[in-house]
Amino acid sequence: MILGNWKMHTLKADALTLAASMRTVAEATDTLIGICPPSLWVDQIVTEVADSRLMVGVQDCVADDFGAHTGCINAAMVANAGCAFALLGHSERRKRFGETSQTIAPAVGAILETGLFPVVCVGETEVDRDAGRADQVVAEQLAPLVGQGFDLDGVVIAYEPVWAIGTGRVATLAEIVAMHRWIREVLERPELVVLYGGSVSPETASSIFSSDQVSGALVGGASLDADKFAAIVAAWETR
């Protein structure tokens, strides 16, 4: 599975053009391909790619039922818009909006209840890694997902070291492999889908994908360029 997170990029016309190119990429592969456009463009993009293999997701949502929650969208809305999945707990949401695994765990359940799949983002900061706390921090981020009464097998985890996001610095293969193993161990799910995210590019993808611990990628910057994204997908297919 290779997913793209467009973050707060694109005006509508550019988003529709990019989605059309991503649709072409998705049609040319058996790999599951998904994009997370800004929420404002999701509805139209879902309509435009409805008859294709391209999955559309949102970059965040809340667990709440309908109500007075200014600026929020909930799982029912995400499903009603025709999305296939939702990113939850991206480090940029954790940092800027104070989201934590405790606050996102109910949203994970809400997304699963709608029949969509959640992609839960976890990852340590550079300070945590330098202090030797990466495993502990990621385990703490995963802990609230356990015992919630939902089936963890339906959850996708994206391991995204914060220091590798948008920096051009990729974790070493050894770090990636060890953390993917650790995540499956902590959740006691040997078959869990675990994606790597953090400066995945056409140049770095082949090395990242060389381990069978890695189930795919969550791509930020390079998902805004269909050629780069296609090259990442090609690297996955030839791993």
Active site residues: 90, 160
Residue number, 5 or 215, with CB nearest to ligand PEP: 5
CA distances to 17, 65, 73, 111 from 68, rounded to whole Å, are: 34, 9, 11, 20
Member of 108, 220, 232, 233 binding ligand PEP (CB under 6 A) = 220
**Rounded distance between C-alpha atoms, residue 18 and residue 199, angstroms:** 20
Is residue 95 at the binding interface for ligand PEP, with CB under 6 A as the rule?
Answer: no
Looking at residue 171, what DSSP letter applies? P
Is residue 199 at the binding interface for ligand PEP, with CB under 6 A as the rule?
Answer: yes
Other C-beta atoms closer than 10 Å to the C-beta of 27 total 12
Member of 25, 42, 86, 200 binding ligand PEP (CB under 6 A) = 200
Of all residues in the shown chain, the one whose CB is closest to ligand PEP is 220
Member of 123, 144, 197, 216 binding ligand PEP (CB under 6 A) = 197
Residue 106: closest CA among 121, 118, 96, 94: 118
Is residue 5 at the binding interface for ligand PEP, with CB under 6 A as the rule?
Answer: yes
Is residue 165 at the binding interface for ligand PEP, with CB under 6 A as the rule?
Answer: yes
Contact segment (CB under 6 A) with ligand PEP among 30-38, 76-84, 134-142, 159-167 equals: 159-167
Other C-beta atoms closer than 10 Å to the C-beta of 174 total 9
CB of 197 vs ligand PEP, minimal distance in Å: 4
Is residue 218 at the binding interface for ligand PEP, with CB under 6 A as the rule?
Answer: yes
Residue number, 150 or 170, with CB nearest to ligand PEP: 170
Radius of gyration of the chain (CA): 17
Would you call 175 exposed, middle or buried from its count of C-beta atoms within 10 A (0-12, 13-18, 19+)? middle
Q: Which amino acid is present at 73?
A: I
Residues that bind ligand PEP (CB under 6 A): 5, 160, 165-166, 197-200, 218-222
